[in-house]
Structure 1
Amino acid sequence: MNFRKIANTLSWVLHPFLLPVYLMALLLTMTTFALYSTNVKLYFMWVVALYAIIIPFLTLGILRSLGRISDFRVDDRRERLLPLLIGTVCYVLCALTFAKIPSAIFLRKFMVAAACCEAMCFVVSLRWKISLHLTGMGAIVALLVVMNVVGVGNMLIPLAAAILCAGALASARLYLGCHNPRQIAAGFFGGFCVSLLAVLFL
């Protein structure tokens, strides 16, 4: 088996850009948010895709063309700072967009949590390299735990799947040599704790 190919595939499928879209799709199909009309669901998906994927990806393209980053993986710690800062701003803008919809306060909290995770990674990256992939997975696990506790929906199966995916992703990142165990652990638990605190208190 080509383990490197599998590890690379996991890294792209579970890329931090894509995780908010997966979570939003889950919310709009398996929770009380499924009661929204199709047009409203499409609007939410578009907003999340715009701020989590489209704008950050275009930003990476511009930075790559300007020579500010060496490649789209942004493995160099110092090259991550500007993309992380832009990502933080994008999630804040997404949260402000959702704040205009009173019934979407829970969705706004998720975007605030994502912004806080990006900000945390930015601060850590000033001195040390942290796993952005595992930060995202830690945030997803934390948000699914919250949803199970508050009763937004039955998220036990998605939570179990997220934990398994986090383990597989951690193994993939270690296999590819992108991070060491400390960076993996710091990413996951940092993302988990920051997201949990953001949802509960912000």
Structure 2
Amino acid sequence: MKTATYVRLAHALSWALHPFLLPLYLVAALLLLTPFGLYPAGVKLYLVWVVVLYALVIPVLALGVLRSLGRISSYRIDERRERLLPLAVGTLCFLLCALTLAKIPSAEFLRKCMLAAGCCEAFCLAVSCRWKISLHLTAAGAAVAVLGVMNFIGVAGMLLPLAGAILCAGALASARLYLGCHNGMQVLAGFAGGFAVATLAVLFL
């Protein structure tokens, strides 16, 4: 039997680890824990603004427009068919973000991260045409993949964030299952798909 406390905790975890927010957490980790931290303050602010604009502001505004037009019934977009337009917008936003970041040659890895996010959105869009998949766990799997690649290539200080991301992914999966938003296969497919797509994108694109 579900208790009110656990339901509130599961909802809070779902919002704190929302797919809109994970790219911002990743940028914060890069700017605080990697050589990106050596950038001048103006460059850091520009990078943060670009990611916030394309990963959060435009997608949220797009959801508002779609909601006002009646194309989605809820901002949570739990219905599989209603996810297609938001995911298409998200894919385009991340590709534009990667294109914008390409103007800073030294931010190549961050560009790859945004490109990986775009590929994950496209993956979810393709799957959602026929089946419901966990968007939360796809984003979590992508975050684990990016941090894992960074540890693999020898970026110092990223082991603790990787461990934290894995623990958060596990907690998020439990929350989504507890709320009844997804079944086990949808959660597993989301994490595995996000991990695989992001790994391939970061390494080869």
In structure 2, distance between residues paired with 1:103 and 1:42: 15
- 1:151 corresponds to: 154
- Provide the TM-score with structure 2 as the length reference: 0.97
- Pick from 181, 192, 197: which aligns with 1:194? 197
Q: Offset of 1:189 from its aligned partner?
A: 0.4
In structure 2, distance between residues paired with 1:175 and 1:87: 27
- Pick from 62, 65, 68: which aligns with 2:65? 62
- 2:75 corresponds to: 72
User: Could you say what the CA RMSD is over the residues aligned between the two structures, in angstroms?
Assistant: 0.7
Q: Which amino acid aligns with 1:201?
A: F
Structure 2 gap segments, 5+ residues each: none
- Pick from 133, 138, 144: which aligns with 1:135? 138
In structure 2, distance between residues paired with 1:167 and 1:145: 16
- Provide the TM-score with structure 1 as the length reference: 0.99
Q: Offset of 1:151 from its aligned partner?
A: 1.9
Q: Offset of 1:154 from its aligned partner?
A: 1.6
In structure 1, distance between residues paired with 2:149 and 2:42: 27
In structure 2, distance between residues paired with 1:178 and 1:153: 37
In structure 1, distance between residues paired with 2:54 and 2:189: 25
Residue 127 of structure 1 aligns to a residue whose secondary structure is: coil
- Pick from 93, 96, 106: which aligns with 1:93? 96
Between Structure 1 and Structure 2, how many residues are aligned? 202
In structure 2, distance between residues paired with 1:13 and 1:159: 17
Q: Offset of 1:152 from its aligned partner?
A: 2.5
In structure 1, distance between residues paired with 2:169 and 2:104: 32
Q: Could you give the per-residue CA deviations for residues 92-132 of structure 1, whole angstroms, max 9, x where no partner exists?
A: 00000011111011111001100000000000000000000
In structure 1, distance between residues paired with 2:45 and 2:102: 17
In structure 2, distance between residues paired with 1:111 and 1:23: 10
- 1:3 corresponds to: 6
Q: Which amino acid aligns with 2:97?
A: C
Q: Which amino acid aligns with 2:181?
A: C
Structure 1 gap segments, 5+ residues each: none
- 2:110 corresponds to: 107
Q: Which amino acid aligns with 1:174?
A: L
- Runs of 4+ in structure 1 deviating by more than 6 angstroms, as ranges, are none
Q: Which amino acid aligns with 2:86?
A: P
Residue 177 of structure 1 aligns to a residue whose secondary structure is: coil
Are positions 1:49 and 2:68 aligned together?
Answer: no
- 1:35 corresponds to: 38
- 2:22 corresponds to: 19
